[in-house]
Chain A
């Protein structure tokens, strides 16, 4: 039986005049990859941004319902603490341009004023870069700025940076949509390897990616959860008609 690490209960979100999410109920199983897919505008990016409370950067954003992480309501906790437990990797890679690769990985600690001894820092950096399958490629250049890295490498650096915080959940917002196919597939392999260490929610508009990589899939349309279930079953024999139409390309 899968244990649930993240529970989304009757969650709705309104941005200004638009109702972006309507009463979403979702249980994210631990140490599994859950893909969230749907056509543009279905609310999938909004959903995961609400999970780490990044939607609060937008003015006029109101939410209702609950999101529980290990039983704790994340909306009753300081958002800063939530974001240290739930990491995020963005669609457009955004390593800190002023910092070296080393400092980028350890940024979550440095910027938060958390002091670690040098050897502890080295350990965190190496471990995170290994988990992100980037260690071998950069270990000789840790103190250079990351601008010489390719797009895929920079995205893996962002993954390492998020992993260094030892999050319970890792949110990936279309992490490969700005990358070429080769880099994308490297990252897809990496994502599958990571689920042993962390629970993953993956937003993607690429149904092939969702099918390849995920254990469970949620299908959203116009802010509502249409279907959720094991990926294998959903892609071969979806329960809902709308899901089937989406998968066969009738819309979106």
Chain B
């Protein structure tokens, strides 16, 4: 049957990608690779430590920005199912989700890089945070919509105020869905390069200062893969292996773990 054949053909790329990255990348991975800084061209060895640290720092900034606003906005939307303002905001969330990542990078550049006068991790983290925001809002809204009204009534009937009911009863009941949304959006932005091209910009140095440029795994892969140096290509395969293990691992982890936290009503 053609249908079956085509279906299975379409997942072949997944296997190819995993196979190539693993075979070319895994031999590069060793302790030095993970803990050393990259060496200049021509020197053997070197590692990706600044990219790994940078990736985590950028994700940290992004989550710090996007989680509070994202959850509050998600609560707003789930508490206001009808209403023109809520519908409009919902439309904006969907639109924001579809904005190309390079345009987000341009915005972060205009708003932060220009005003700060230099590339910085802060602007890169901001761009990633903008990309995480709609996913977190939607996950929060959808999760909270599923929580039965009876839970809210039980709390209010005990004389618990509305803010406390939302924050201490409804929100905890939806924690698994919200955490899923957060983890999935982290997995999404961990692999993003375009918004960082002219915000965090990348750097050969280890940098913990968020006001300076910062490297990240995807940026490094892009720079090394498109360079003419074979040593750098090898490093890029290793970095790709780390990245893909992290991203796919996080996706799988999210699925498995949050199922256990799910509250039954």
Q: Do chains A and B directly touch (beta carbons under 8 Å) in the complex?
A: yes
Interface residues of A (CB under 8 A from B): 52, 54, 57, 80-84, 87-88, 90, 92, 94-98, 107-108, 111-113, 147, 158, 161-162, 165
> Which residues does chain B contribute within 8 Å of A158, judged by CB atoms?
154
For the A-B complex, the count of residue pairs with Cβ-Cβ distances under 8 Å equals 71
Q: How far is the CA of A88 from the CA of B165 in the complex (A)?
A: 16
Residues on the A chain within 8 Å of B150, using CB: 90, 92, 94
User: B156, A54: Cβ atoms under 8 Å?
Assistant: yes
**Which A residues are CB-close (under 8 A) to B159?**
80-84, 108, 112, 165
Partner of A98, one of B160, B164, B263: B263
The docked-state distance in angstroms from the alpha carbon of A57 to that of B151 is: 13
Give the number of residues in B that approach A within 8 Å (Cβ atoms): 22
Say yes or no: A111 contacts B265, CB within 8 Å: no
- B residues touching A (Cβ–Cβ < 8 Å)? 148, 150-161, 164-165, 168-169, 172-173, 263-265
Can you report 25 residue pairs joining A to B where beta carbons are below 8 Å apart?
A54-B156, A57-B152, A57-B156, A84-B158, A87-B158, A90-B157, A94-B151, A94-B154, A96-B151, A96-B173, A97-B263, A97-B265, A98-B172, A107-B158, A108-B158, A111-B164, A111-B168, A112-B158, A112-B160, A112-B161, A112-B164, A113-B164, A162-B158, A165-B158, A165-B159
Closest partner residue, chain A, to B265 (CB atom): A97
Complex CA gap A94/B153 in Å reads: 9
CA distance A83 to B153 in the complex (A): 11
* Apart from A80-B161, A94-B153, A97-B151: 7 A-B pairs, beta carbons within 8 A: A54-B157, A92-B150, A94-B148, A94-B151, A112-B158, A112-B164, A165-B158
Q: Which residues of B contact A54 (CB under 8 A)?
A: 153, 156-157
